[in-house]
Structure 1
Amino acid sequence: MNIDRTFTVPLDHANPSGPTIELYAREVTRGRTDLPYLLYLNGGPGFPSPRPLGGEGWITRALAEYRLLLLDQRGTGRSTPVTRHSLAWQGTPRQQVDYLKHFRADSIVKDAETIRQALAVDQWSVLGQSFGGYCAVTYLSFAPEALAEVLITGGLPPLESTADEIYHTLYKTVVGKNIAHYKRYPEDVERASTVARFLKDNTVLLPTGRTLTVEAFQGLGNLLGASTGSSRLHYLLEAPFDGDHLADAFLTDVERELSWASTAPLYFLLHEASYARGHGATQWSAQRVRQEFPEFGNDDPLLFTGEMVYPALFDSDPALQPFRDTAHLIAAEDAWPQLYDIDRLKANTVPVAAAVYNDDMYVARELSLDTARTIAGTRSWLTAEYEHDGLRVSDGAVLDRLITMLRREEGPGHAG
Structure 2
Amino acid sequence: MDYRVRDLTTSVPLDHDDPSGERIDVFCREVSRPECTHAPAFVFLQGGPGVESPRDLDGVAWLATLTASSPDAVYDAIVANVHAHSMAYYRRYPGDVTVMRRLVDRLRERPEPLDDGGRLTARRLLDLGMLLGSTGGPSRLHSLLDDPFIDSAGKHLRWSFIERVRRESHYETNPLFVLLQEAV
Structure 1 position 201 matched with structure 2 position 129: no
Cα offset for 1:226? 2.1
Larger radius of gyration: 1
- Which residue of 253, 274, 290 corresponds with 2:164? 253
Q: Which runs of 5+ in 1 are unaligned?
A: 1-6, 12-17, 26-41, 51-71, 73-126, 134-151, 272-285, 287-307, 310-416
Matched residue, 1:281:
none
Cα offset for 1:237? 0.2
Per the alignment, do residues 189 and 10 of structure 1 end up closer, same or farther by CA in structure 2, a change over 3 Å counting? closer
Calculate the aligned-residue CA RMSD, in Å. 3.2
- Which residue of 150, 156, 159 corresponds with 1:242? 150
Match runs of 1:191-340 below 5 Å: 191-243=99-151, 244-259=155-170, 261-271=171-181, 286=182, 308=183
Q: Which whole-Å deviations, capped at 9, do the CAs of 1:275-305 have from their partners, x for residues lacking one?
A: xxxxxxxxxxx4xxxxxxxxxxxxxxxxxxx
Asked if 2 retains the 8 angstrom alpha-carbon contact of 1:47 and 1:267, the reply is no
Secondary structure (helix, strand or coil) at the match of 1:242 reads coil
Matched residue, 1:22:
23
More contact order relative to length (CA 8 Å, sep ≥ 6): 1
Per the alignment, do residues 183 and 8 of structure 1 end up closer, same or farther by CA in structure 2, a change over 3 Å counting? closer
Cα offset for 1:21? 5.5
Asked if 2 retains the 8 angstrom alpha-carbon contact of 1:45 and 1:267, the reply is no
**Identity of counterpart residues, as a percentage?**
30
Q: Which whole-Å deviations, capped at 9, do the CAs of 1:371-410 have from their partners, x for residues lacking one?
A: xxxxxxxxxxxxxxxxxxxxxxxxxxxxxxxxxxxxxxxx
Match runs of 1:266-415 below 5 Å: 266-271=176-181, 286=182, 308=183
Per the alignment, do residues 128 and 195 of structure 1 end up closer, same or farther by CA in structure 2, a change over 3 Å counting? same
Task: Kindly provide the amino acid, as one letter, of the partner of residue 161 in structure 2.
Answer: F
Secondary structure (helix, strand or coil) at the match of 2:119 reads coil
Per the alignment, do residues 238 and 210 of structure 1 end up closer, same or farther by CA in structure 2, a change over 3 Å counting? same
Matched residue, 2:46:
44
Q: Which whole-Å deviations, capped at 9, do the CAs of 1:347-375 have from their partners, x for residues lacking one?
A: xxxxxxxxxxxxxxxxxxxxxxxxxxxxx
Matched residue, 2:63:
156
Secondary structure (helix, strand or coil) at the match of 1:175 reads helix
Task: Kindly provide the amino acid, as one letter, of the partner of residue 250 in structure 1.
Answer: F
Q: Which runs of 5+ in 2 are unaligned?
A: 1-8, 14-18, 27-43
Asked if 2 retains the 8 angstrom alpha-carbon contact of 1:219 and 1:258, the reply is yes
Matched residue, 2:82:
174
Measured in 2, the distance between the counterparts of 1:19 and 1:164 equals: 40
Measured in 2, the distance between the counterparts of 1:203 and 1:9 equals: 43
Q: TM-score, structure 1 length as denominator?
A: 0.32
Secondary structure (helix, strand or coil) at the match of 1:209 reads coil
Task: Kindly provide the amino acid, as one letter, of the partner of residue 169 in structure 1.
Answer: A
Q: Give the paired residue count.
A: 149
